[in-house]
Structure 1
Amino acid sequence: MIHIDNEGITDPHVNLAIEEYCIRHLPAGEDYLLFYINAPSIIIGRNQNTLEEIHQAYIDEHGIHVVRRISGGGAVYHDHGNLNFSFLTDFSKDKLNNFKQFATPIIKVLNAMGVSAEMKGRNDIVVGDKKVSGNAQFSSTKRMFNHGTLLLDCDLDQVTKALDVKMTKIKSKGHKSSRARVANIAEFLEAPLSTEAFKEKILASLFPDGAERKTYRLTAKDWNSINALVEEKYRQWDWNYGHSPDFDIQRTRHFAAGIIDFRLKVKRGGAIENVKIYGDFFGQRPVSEIQNALIGVRYDKRAIEGALEGIDLYPYFGEVDRAEFIDLIYGPDEQ
């Protein structure tokens, strides 16, 4: 097994690009192990609707990254107290969905540290009834990886708030995450342990005394391709939000002018395909003009603001606050 050095990078856009690049371009016939630690971020499963998984207003306020990965599974929160591991190997049917095979070395390390970890269900590592690690896979015809999280000393309060969805009445074809009871591995350790020291313990177990620890260091050519992948994919709204499956959303709010009820259909790619506006408001102009102004617009707050810029809302709805109106279409629910 060869350890891939990610050079201590904590940008989730870059780390996920490294992982994808390596599985697609490093030589077959070799097994690799990649570790990375991400700055506060939510990592969305490939087949999920991003908006169903996150509390967008909280994320914006706290500068939390939102990045989609190429593997399936549910949304997870990462920060500097979370160690991510990825085993990259040749594809074989016996490895596909065999999460236990890849988790076993990690469980052995945890057990040696006095943590009573075990595999439970399809893809979780648990201690008692608390989840400390989730796993997911990606495979092509020739290569695959199994990656997972290790909650060492993560800010669990952030986990709860960042993944507490505040947009209701979303009907999607995406795969919604199930929320398990989680805990930090640090709770079960006798002494504090840094994330880097934890990584070294795992490496020491995989490469015991006398075993040669091979390390792959990314070349300038590798980095050129990785950086291109970051800019063309992992930093793009189209991938992180627009890649979500088709979904319908209903948003209703009480204004001084009356109730306004938005029904939107958003297509894969993130564009608003259809809009209907209902309510008991009084207006002079037909709301179909507002509906038409939003069709084809990306379902993103800034894009919606741009589409409605310069349009006087009063003739359509009466007295409504513009910022609150935008929040009705795309924003937190009323508390």
Structure 2
Amino acid sequence: MYCFTRTETDPAFNLAAEEYLLKNADEDCFMLWRNHKAIIVGRNQNTLSEINPDFVDRHGIRVVRRITGGGAVYHDLGNVNFTFIKANGGKKEIDFAAYTRPILDYLNTLAVPAKLDGRNDLIVEGLKISGNAQHIHKQRVLHHGTLLFDVDLEMLAAVLLVDPAKYTDKAIQSIRSRVTNISEHLVGPMDVETFMDDLTTHIRKAHAGKPGHLSADDRAAIEDLAEQKYRRWEWNFGSSPEYNFRRVTRTPGGTIEVCLDVRDGVIHAARFYGDYFGKADIADIEVRLVGCQHRRSALQKRLDGVFLTNYIKDVSMDQLLDAMF
């Protein structure tokens, strides 16, 4: 087994590296890696219904979709991610216990009383420290999980705080769990780098592992995949399942209720209701938005040049855009 300890913290590159190695590595792999501040959403989720977009924008938090299912998670440099990529003998069932056991064994050597809870969570004293997900490609399985070592838990709660009334869809919704950091349950101090080094050593001994390295060609291919997929709005937001959006907002011009029908990230129908005043028919705006990505920059461009006050008196462009998220 190749064992990689990675230093890159770009979430797009790291998720692209997982997919690349899943499809191209000639041996089993284990990786530890971290991301700079990011929200990683599950393959089957509606991204906008999982995040607090205003908070995310203000704090420069990246949003990236992964190829595995499950719920949205927050990453920062206090979160350690582990990945196993292994041949699975053509099995189609998902087996979380087999891949979390080596992690549990290591945590138990630190006197952290972690255990597998339910299908895919690791917990300590009833609090979640790890979520896990899997993806099967041909004869290989990718299993990855988070390890909350010293995460900013206040930030974690804030970025994933959304209004469930805004969205109606069939997407897989995240289940919010009470969480804790592994560092809070250690018998003595340890920094995250030492934790990663010791965990890698544990896995190498358990699996007769050897150091893994990415060649220049590997890195070029991963960077290309990151650019063509994991950094693109079409993957991270546009590939969300069909959803209906509804939000009621109070503005200086009155109350505005925005209703959007969105498919593949593109608005197929828009309706505006409320007690606002306007000289022109709001249907002009509704028609103009059809075919536009449900994306702030795209909506602003689509409405550029429209004299909004003719349609909704005393409402600015920013206020109208805010009402659509």
TM-score (norm 1): 0.93
What is the CA deviation profile of residues 307-331 of structure 1, one whole-angstrom value per residue up to 9, with x for unaligned ones? 111111122122223321221123x
Give the C-alpha shift of residue 56 in structure 1.
1.0
Amino acid at match of 1:247: Y
Map of 1:140-219 to 2, 5 A cutoff? 140-166=137-163, 168-208=165-205, 213-219=209-215
- Which residue does the alignment assign to 1:11? 10
- Which residue does the alignment assign to 1:2? 2
Amino acid at match of 1:290: I
Asked if residue 266 in structure 1 is aligned to residue 262 in structure 2, the reply is yes
Give the C-alpha shift of residue 93 in structure 1.
5.9
- Which residue does the alignment assign to 1:26? 25
Q: Distance in 2 between matches of 1:262 and 1:318?
A: 16
- Which residue does the alignment assign to 2:33? 36
Q: How many residues align?
A: 325
Moved more, 317-326 or 117-126: 317-326
Unaligned runs of 5+ in 1: 331-335
Map of 1:109-120 to 2, 5 A cutoff? 109-120=106-117
Asked if residue 320 in structure 1 is aligned to residue 297 in structure 2, the reply is no
Over the residues paired in the alignment, what is the CA RMSD in angstroms? Answer: 1.6
SS at match of 2:221: helix
CA contact (8 A) 1:51 1:167 kept: no
Q: Distance in 2 between matches of 1:212 and 1:100?
A: 20
What is the CA deviation profile of residues 180-238 of structure 1, one whole-angstrom value per residue up to 9, with x for unaligned ones? 110000010122212221112212222339x8541221111111111110110011011
- Which residue does the alignment assign to 1:251? 247
Could you tell me which of 100, 103, 107 is aligned with 2:100?
103
CA contact (8 A) 1:3 1:33 kept: yes
Give the C-alpha shift of residue 281 in structure 1.
2.5
What is the CA deviation profile of residues 23-65 of structure 1, one whole-angstrom value per residue up to 9, with x for unaligned ones? 01111xx321011111111110000011111111111111111
CA contact (8 A) 1:256 1:320 kept: yes
TM-score (norm 2): 0.96
CA contact (8 A) 2:78 2:150 kept: yes
- Which residue does the alignment assign to 1:220? 216
SS at match of 1:187: helix
Q: Distance in 2 between matches of 1:22 and 1:228?
A: 14
Map of 1:283-294 to 2, 5 A cutoff? 283-294=278-289
Q: Distance in 2 between matches of 1:168 and 1:105?
A: 40
Q: Distance in 2 between matches of 1:42 and 1:101?
A: 26
Amino acid at match of 2:71: G
What is the CA deviation profile of residues 142-190 of structure 1, one whole-angstrom value per residue up to 9, with x for unaligned ones? 2111100011111111100111115742111210000011000001012
Q: Distance in 2 between matches of 1:275 and 1:95?
A: 41
SS at match of 2:315: coil
Q: Distance in 2 between matches of 1:181 and 1:82?
A: 16
CA contact (8 A) 2:167 2:246 kept: yes
Amino acid at match of 2:170: K
Identity of aligned residues (%): 39
Give the C-alpha shift of residue 14 in structure 1.
0.6
Taking a change above 3 Å as real, the CA distance of residues 212 and 276 of structure 1, as seen in their structure-2 partners, is closer
Moved more, 147-156 or 91-100: 91-100
